Amino acid sequence: MILDYTEDSKLKLDMIYYIEDMIKEFPYEIKGRLKAPWNDKLFKVNKKTEKFDDKRKGIFHTFVMKAMFLCKRARQDIEPGICFLSSRTSKPNESDWQKLTKILEFLKGTKDDVLTLEADDWNVLYWFIDAAFAVHHDMKSHSGLVFTMGKGAIISSSRKQKTNSRSSTEAELNAADNMLSKIIRVKRFVEKQGFEVKVNALFQHNTSTMKLQKNGKLSSGKRTRHFDIKLFYITDLINRDELVVKYCPTDEMIGDYMSKPLVGAKFDKFRDMIMNLSNKHNIGQQECVGSKNINEKMTDKML
């Protein structure tokens, strides 16, 4: 991995050589670029396809782990696919193999795309969290997170939830709760480097979830009374001004990229924002923040 600081106020994470080596080492032909590294059936488990021999099983495991190393550092744009495939390494089948080769074909065609990180001057930490309800074969939901300080994703996460949720609201609460330790830890880390954090902002697009987060059990009804008390730890953080929760429209919810296999225009838009490819998207200036001047538009409590 090459850390490139040659452009002022930018950090480029270059793993082009790593991707080239992956493609060369793969013992089968990898063709070229695809429009997306998956289709909307990514999370579907095809149990009817035949399992394959131990040789290909070993190759599958090796290259899923190589891709995981890559996506956790410089190519977050493939993370949803690698998250799913990493759960299939013990019993992969032909369908899983095809999904892996599709990701490798995408990487080969986009190997020169480099993640570029930039920070704005608003002293805000932006966390975008989303959940896709019951999208897995066992009806578990999927959580997605993107963290930025302006342009490009510094941290991302795509993971299957460990417990079943009974509603999209519960899935969203679980997603936020699972990420809270990371959200607070990053805030502490940035402050220890000597930087002021004016706002630690969590963006979501489910208004029912937001009410529960802000009000705790006071907003519970018949459908939410069963929620575990741990899900309301976030309410305590909000009350202690450690965190604020803000609404983000679905079309601007970049966390959506990590919670489900997007395709088409939405895939292109959010991938561009995550990787900061065109340098035209300041994630902190999207409609979910709703301002060219954060001091004017965000609430007094946030600042």
DSSP string, 33-68: --SSS--TTTT---TTSPB--HHHHHHHHHHHHHHH
- Distance spanning both ends of the chain, measured CA to CA: 37
**Side-chain half-sphere of 185: how many Cα atoms within 13 Å?**
7
To 10 degrees, the CA torsion angle through 221, 251, 261, 156? -80
The pLDDT tens digits of the residues spanning 240-275 come to: 999 999 999 999 999 999 999 999 999 999 999 999
Q: How far is 80 from 267, CA to CA, in rounded Å? A: 12
- The whole-number pLDDT of residue 196 equals 95
Predicted model pTM: 0.90
Q: How far is 237 from 286, CA to CA, in rounded Å? A: 25
Q: How does residue 35 score in pLDDT terms, banded at 50, 70 and 90? A: confident
Q: How does residue 215 score in pLDDT terms, banded at 50, 70 and 90? A: confident
More confident residue, 50 or 112: 112
More confident residue, 209 or 159: 159
- Helices (H), ranges, the chain: 16-25, 54-71, 79-86, 94-109, 168-192, 207-215, 233-239, 256-259, 264-275, 294-297
The conformation of residue 90, written as its DSSP 8-state character, comes to: S
Both tokens assigned to 300: 């007094």
At 291, the amino acid letter reads S
Both tokens assigned to 266: 């939405």
Q: How far is 273 from 128, CA to CA, in rounded Å? A: 12
Q: Does the pLDDT value for residue 287 go beyond 60? A: no
Q: How does residue 213 score in pLDDT terms, banded at 50, 70 and 90? A: confident
Asked whether the CA dihedral 103, 108, 110, 113 is positive or negative, the reply is: positive
The conformation of residue 116, written as its DSSP 8-state character, comes to: E
- The whole-number pLDDT of residue 303 equals 41
Asked whether 158 and 142 are in contact (CB, 8 A), the reply is yes
Structure-token match 């519960």, residue found? 170
Where does residue 126 fall: left (phi above 0), alpha (psi -120 to 50 degrees), or beta otherwise? beta
Q: Which domains does the chain have, with CATH numbers?
A: 2-109 (no CATH), 118-297 (3.30.420.10)
Residue of 63, 87, 67 lying closest to 75 (CA atoms)? 67
Residue of 14, 13, 21, 28 lying closest to 60 (CA atoms)? 28
- The whole-number pLDDT of residue 223 equals 54
More confident residue, 217 or 258: 258
Q: Does the pLDDT value for residue 293 go beyond 80? A: no
Q: How does residue 233 score in pLDDT terms, banded at 50, 70 and 90? A: confident
Kindly report the average pLDDT of the chain as a whole number: 89
- The whole-number pLDDT of residue 271 equals 97
The pLDDT tens digits of the residues spanning 91-140 come to: 899 999 999 999 999 999 999 999 999 999 999 999 999 999 999 999 99
